[in-house]
Amino acid sequence: MEPETQKGLFRDVFAPLIPILGEIFAATLVINVLAFAVPLFVLQVYDRVIAQAGLSTLQGLIIGMVGVIIFDFILRQARSGLLQDAAMRIDARLAKRLFAKFTALPLRILERRPSAFWQSLFKDVDNIRTAIAGIGAILLADLPFAAIGIILIVAIAKPLAWAMLIIVPLFILLALASSLSAKRSTVAERNASLRRDSLITEMITDRTTIKALGLGSHLGKLWEERQAKTIDSAIIKAARADRYHNLGKTLLLSSTVTLTGFGALAIINQEMTIGALIAANMLVSRILQPLNQLVLQWKSISAARQSYGRVKQVLNYPEDQQNPTMKMESPDGRITLDGVSFHFGDADSEPVLKNLSMRVGPHGLHAVVGPNGSGKTTLLKLMRGLYPPSQGRVLLDKGDLHQFSESEKLKWFGYMPQETRLLSGSVKDNLSMGMHAPDDSDIAHAAKLAGLHDDILAMKNGYNTQVGEQGESLSGGMRQRLSLARSLVADPAVLLLDEPSNNMDVMAVQRLADLLKQLSSDRTIIMVTHSPVLLKACDSIMVLEKGQIKGGGKAKDILPKLKGMMP
């Protein structure tokens, strides 16, 4: 799977940029050839113009150099524009592919990583774009053409050629050592940043709880500790980078002194001219300066490489089947569990659900009850197909749920999680954000089914009312009913509700019970609840305890036995 994904990544993201990369290579080649014109100009001035008083030669050389300088500026500007264009295209394609991958990943993979990790992936795409459009990419592009400069030095200052065979490898070794150091420092800094950002994400998400319970002082100490570790890792990274950069500066100065000293001896021995020595020093500077800058820039290049590696790793993750194999009719809504077990860890870990077998529907209102930690929410996620069973099968009508695509499950299942979270936008936006965009009549129909349509119209802005971040502009009961309406937009055959009466008063719960009873006449509704009002409206009740079915049957038979389980 991985090689195929890598081929797809190259085909979708990088292959369309091959023509641009060709233009960048051509511009880089010409720029580097032109860069050697200045040392050759100096060589000619010292050895021909000054020695022979050749004013006409000087005029010709100056006119030629003016043209070279102007052309060099134009080419550098063009290359910078091409690099920025390539970086933006890679960013757009890679970010789009990453976002699509994120929405297609199985829920278990998403839950294994903290929120800060997934947020950092999109920062990784920014790092890749910045590296491609930055000075580091230009230095890497120029590096192979250093061979031209070495050839010129051998041609005009042969006595100094041996020194280049020592100096250039030393710079290359320094760059490699800087790369290894930058890699270790970047990993340490990122890990520290992730721990700090995870805390910040939790603080922002639970800001109401933190404010109400006065948790700021405790979290402040924790934040200071993680922030200090982040700063320490950043300082260590910068110190290591500066150390290698300063070593590069020292090596560059030593190279100049060495070449000038041995060049002076060669001039005394009449093995080369003064012009050749000056030109050779300029060529050496032209070769070594980019190498020295590369040592300094290697931390950003290394960070971009690691960013690309992380993004590529996520793109290699398995994903839910998105599109149906063949078009299927809407199911009747019968849910069957056939020896289902589930555990969050490996096969040796304690299962959350143990060998469950049951059948509900089609149609009717069914409840799952049990103490906290008995696996009720996990059971709903298995029925929805968000979790695959570790053992056994979940069947929808007579078909194994595993074979159906996510688009099919979104049409056939409505799911209302225990924690109601709305997205910033209008009421209409929150009712129309599914994979299949509904029309206005579908939205209004769902709101009417949830008993919400009249309440929405009573608002000043109606369906255009802004719900705020996570729905904070609405009351808890309104958020709950809006979440219910959202689960009904696709007119699903199966409705899965996790504690649907949260944030509702007694009258609202009674209305919800009447509503669910009405809806269950032509769809299967399975809910986790401990509300006596909702339980009395159910057709059947299943009792779950420690991941096992402890009882079940018609509601009128089970309700009297639920002592201690109802609030």
CATH number at residue 227: 1.20.1560.10
pLDDT of residue 366: 92
Beta strand 391-396 with 399-400: parallel, antiparallel or unpaired? antiparallel
Task: For the chain, give the mean pLDDT.
Answer: 81
Do residues 312 and 9 make contact, with C-beta atoms less than 8 angstroms apart? Answer: yes
Tens-digit pLDDT profile for residues 285-306: 777 777 777 766 777 777 788 8
Residue 153 lies in a domain: yes
Rounded to an integer, the average pLDDT of 527-533 is: 88
Kindly report, residue by residue over 309-350, the tens digit of the pLDDT. 888 888 888 888 777 777 778 888 889 998 888 888 766 778
Residues 311 and 341 in one domain: no
CATH number, domain containing residue 412: 3.40.50.300
Residue at 330 is within a domain: no
Instruction: Report the domain count for the chain.
Output: 2
Give the domain-ending residue among 315, 348, 377: 315
Written in H, E and C, the secondary structure of 342-370 is ECCCCCCCCCCEEEEEEEECCCEEEEEEC
Q: pLDDT tens for residues 103-147?
A: 888 888 888 887 778 888 888 888 888 777 777 677 777 777 777
400 in the same domain as 265? no
The distance of Cα 314 from the centroid of its chain, to the nearest Å, equals 8
Peptide bond into 362 cis (omega under 30): yes
What is the structure's pLDDT at 177? 81
Same-domain pairing of 249 and 370: no
In the block, tokens 């420092």 appear at: 185
Residue 388 is assigned to a structural domain of this protein: yes
Same domain for 294 and 356? no
Query: Residue 486 in contact with residue 500, Cβ under 8 Å?
Result: no
Q: Are residues 258 and 366 in the same domain?
A: no
Q: Is residue 484 part of a domain?
A: yes
- Which of 127-136, 152-161, 438-447 has the lowest average pLDDT? 127-136
In a domain, 320, yes or no: no
In terms of Cβ atoms closer than 10 Å to its own Cβ (0-12, 13-18, 19+), residue 555 is: middle
Query: Is residue 567 one of the residues assigned to a domain?
Result: no
User: What pLDDT, on the 0 to 100 scale, is given for residue 3?
Assistant: 44
**Do 395 and 306 belong to one domain?**
no
Q: Is the pLDDT of residue 152 over 60?
A: yes
φ/ψ bin of 468: left (φ > 0), alpha (ψ from -120 to 50), beta (otherwise) = left
Do 198 and 245 share a domain, yes or no? Answer: yes
Let me know whether 167 and 70 are in one domain. Answer: yes
- pLDDT mean over 446-466: 85
**What is the model's pLDDT at position 1?**
40
**Is 430's pLDDT higher than 80?**
yes
> Residue 477 belongs to what domain range?
335-561
Q: Which residue has the higher pLDDT, 537 or 156?
A: 537
pTM score above 0.85 = no
pLDDT tens, position by position, 190-247? 778 878 877 777 777 667 667 666 667 777 787 788 888 888 888 887 787 778 778 8
**Separation of alpha carbons 99 and 121, rounded Å:** 10
Give the mean pLDDT of 372-382.
88
Same domain, 140 and 35: yes
* Range with lowest mean pLDDT among 296-300, 470-474, 562-566: 562-566
Q: How far, rounded to the nearest angstrom, does the alpha carbon of residue 20 sit from its chain's CA centroid?
A: 26
> Both 245 and 340 in a single domain?
no
Same domain assignment for residues 425 and 534 = yes
Task: Indicate if the pLDDT at residue 159 is higher than 50.
Answer: yes
Q: Is the pLDDT of residue 8 over 70?
A: no
The answer on 289 and 229 residing in a single domain is yes
